[in-house]
Chain A
Amino acid sequence: MQKPDLSLQYRLMLPLAVVLLAVMAYPLIFSAWISLHDYRLTRLTDVQFRGWQNYLGLIENQQFWTAITNTMTFVVGAVSMEFVLGFSLALLLHRVRRFQNFYRAILLSPMFITPIAVGLMFRFLLNIQLGVIPHYLDKIGIYVDWFGIDLALFSLMLIDTWQWTPFMLLMLLAGLESLPKAPFEAARVDGASPWLIFRRITLPMMRPVILVALIIRGLDAFKVFEYVYAITRGGPGDSTETILFHIYKVGFRFFRMGEAASMAYVLIVITLILVTALYWSMKRR
């Protein structure tokens, strides 16, 4: 038998490998290089090597830590609300057969709007002077400044919840419907109350689906940018300045690319640590 010509395989893979290198590896490596230099778009002729200085500088950088804290608060808050709401709705809906396609289409529609449009939409809906929501709240005697210093970050979480609960719902509903029916019937005959069945049968059996849904939504929420950009621009003060918006500001408004790149790398590390931790804590039993 003739030996298969391995070199042919590699040669066939070459074009794709080159494209991947160009669009993925090159920017990654280049940004890593940038993060080690004092690289400013305004002073490209004078790029200095700074070693770990950019990274060490972040430890002292109050704005950076505020952005990280804001982002964490946003992720935890928004994803928790989406999970609780999405799971409750999924539990309610998964046995309803009537009008199934209709309500599913309605419930899922927010997901299909581009986030920047959602941001703009809510900017007007919630605007204290023009918005229709504050207008009617005012009529029943409730005065809320949705984008004031206390509430702005929370309002962004609500918007995220509005748009992404359907995704949570979709994942969890699919999960619920793929569970085998038999253990639930066995538990009913065994004498378990609905609450006990939920705690001891539904939740543990849904564990893998919940894990995946939380990770996907968590990672996505980490990247929150559009709502901030469309509505608050990080304000009032720095109360809604999320990490991605901060990086954008430092990099593309202040042109301090080196510092921005180092933040981006720290962000990657933080995300990896969080995902791994979440994964293991859910996986363990």
Chain B
Amino acid sequence: MPKITLENIQKKFGKNTVLDGIDLELGEGEFTVLVGPSGCGKTTLLRLIAGLDQVSAGKILIGDRDVTRLEPRERDIAMVFQNYALYPHMSVYENMSFGLKARGVDAGEVKRRVIQVAEMLGIEILLNRKPKELSGGQQQRVAIGRAVVRDPSLFLFDEPLSNLDAKLRTEMRTELLKLHRELHATTVYVTHDQEEAMSMGDRIVVLNDGVIQQRGTPRDIYFHPVNLLVAGFIGSPSMNMLHGKISGDRFASLDGAIVVETKNLPDGDVILGIRPEDIHQPADLTAEQHGCVLNCRIDVIELLGARAIITLIVVGVELRAVIEERYLKGISEGSDLIVVFDPDRFHFFDAVTGRRLNRDRFDEEQGIDG
């Protein structure tokens, strides 16, 4: 039985529908990442689960207990807020022990658990400080400690790393994952950062405009996006999209620059998606993988280190490609470059509905409708 079940959750603010028909099941001990652009309703969903706001329709179950109308304190959920929401007038120790004391845990036990968790998070020397005497990273740890110490049935994290600098963010990411491996607590982790989502989740749920677009493992989401929204949102730099037409098992882009053979795809207007890393140098692929060879002009080169993002122009269309740094020798902005594509890595989407068209073995296994 799943630990947490959301059934057809809807949330309206006045006439504005922010969440619409959210169904979600979280298994015991699962780490689910909820990802989506800013304003898509992630925080709203977490607040509904926590009980801070009331659903407009739908049901929330913990185990088989219906908690939809219960107060937050009756739900046994811990939440780490985006801005930490520490109690400003309390010391770190008091911050962490507040929830336990509120639940009537006896003083000795409170002390034991707070100290144990503080040691686990490396904040035991901060216990007597006030939040305003802590750095952002330390406040973050306290907020996490406050949640962990309660040993709740569900953890909610609302973009907990978004206020940290890049280096600290990657460190904390690893640490959170370690923590999860130790505690095996059921967790919903919200982020707008698709890279963070990819690197953290057992399972990713992509939310957009208040609707769940896709759920699956990071690999599923990345390699088999079910629609244009997901395809465009996941991956950086984002997927190249080319408008075109399929007729008689042949795709031709509108400008005619790209022509490839297709199999089992209906005729009509489509959008072809190509990930930047699927644009290769001829030497990278064997001859039979050369589905399509293009002669482009290099517009911009952005060196990232071991790899570079290059912007290519083909008959007025811009393509972004990620190539290895060694290929940069001998090319420069303005020079010509020959690139090849592997048609097995093409993503086709219906130009009208945005849904994925090409079915591969993966789609058959998952039973996803094409």
Contacts and interface: CB of A to CB of B under 8 A. Distances in A.
- Select the residue from B50, B52, B83, B84 with max chain A CB neighbours within 10 A: B52
Given A182-B81, A192-B73, A200-B98, A187 B87 contact: yes
Contacts of A188: 51-52, 71-73
Interface in B128-152: 146, 150
Given A183-B86, A186-B79, A201-B87, A192 B52 contact: no
Contact of B85 (A183, A191, A193): A183
A189 interface: yes
A181 to B, nearest CB: 9
Given A190-B146, A191-B99, A185 B71 contact: no
B78 interface: yes
Contacts of A190: 73, 78, 98-99, 102, 146, 150
Contacts of B89: 204-205, 207, 285
Contact of A185 (B52, B90, B103): B52
Contacts of A204: 89-90
B102 A183 contact: no
Interface in A176-226: 180, 182-183, 185-193, 196, 200-201, 204-205, 207
B81 A186 contact: yes
Contacts, number: 64
Nearest to B143: A186
B188 to A, nearest CB: 13
Interface residues of A, number: 19
B52 A183 contact: no
B73 A191 contact: yes
A147 to B, nearest CB: 45
Interface string B68-110: 0001110011110101111111100000001100110000000
A194 to B, nearest CB: 9
Contacts of B50: 189
Most chain-A Cβ atoms within 10 A of its Cβ — which of B73, B83, B103, B146?
B73
Contacts of B87: 183, 186-187, 200-201
B102 A193 contact: yes
Nearest to A188: B72
Given A182-B83, A196-B102, A200-B98, A189 B88 contact: no
Given A205-B88, A205-B89, A189 B98 contact: no
Contact of B98 (A185, A192, A193, A207): A192
Nearest to A197: B102
Contacts of A180: 88
A193 B73 CA distance: 8
A3 B316 CA distance: 67
A192 B51 CA distance: 13
B45 to A, nearest CB: 15
B81 A191 contact: no
A188 B86 CA distance: 13
Nearest to A183: B87
A86 to B, nearest CB: 22
Contact of A189 (B78, B86, B90, B103): B78
A191 B76 CA distance: 8
Given A183-B86, A183-B88, A204-B89, A189 B102 contact: no
B103 A182 contact: no
Contacts of B52: 185, 188-189
Contacts of B85: 182-183, 185-186
- Of A189, A192, A201, A205, chain B has the most CB atoms within 10 Å of the CB of A189
A193 B52 CA distance: 14
Interface string A145-186: 000000000000000000000000000000000001011011
B83 A187 contact: no
Contacts of B103: 191
Contacts of B99: 190-192
Contacts of A182: 81, 83-85
A193 B84 CA distance: 21
Contacts of B78: 189-190
A204 B88 CA distance: 10
B154 to A, nearest CB: 11
8 contacts: A182-B81, A183-B85, A186-B79, A189-B78, A190-B73, A190-B102, A191-B150, A204-B89
Given A186-B146, A192-B98, 7 more contacts: A188-B71, A189-B78, A190-B98, A190-B146, A191-B76, A193-B102, A201-B87
Q: Which 4 pairs of residues, A with B, have the shortest CB-CB distance? A: A182-B85, A190-B99, A186-B85, A191-B73
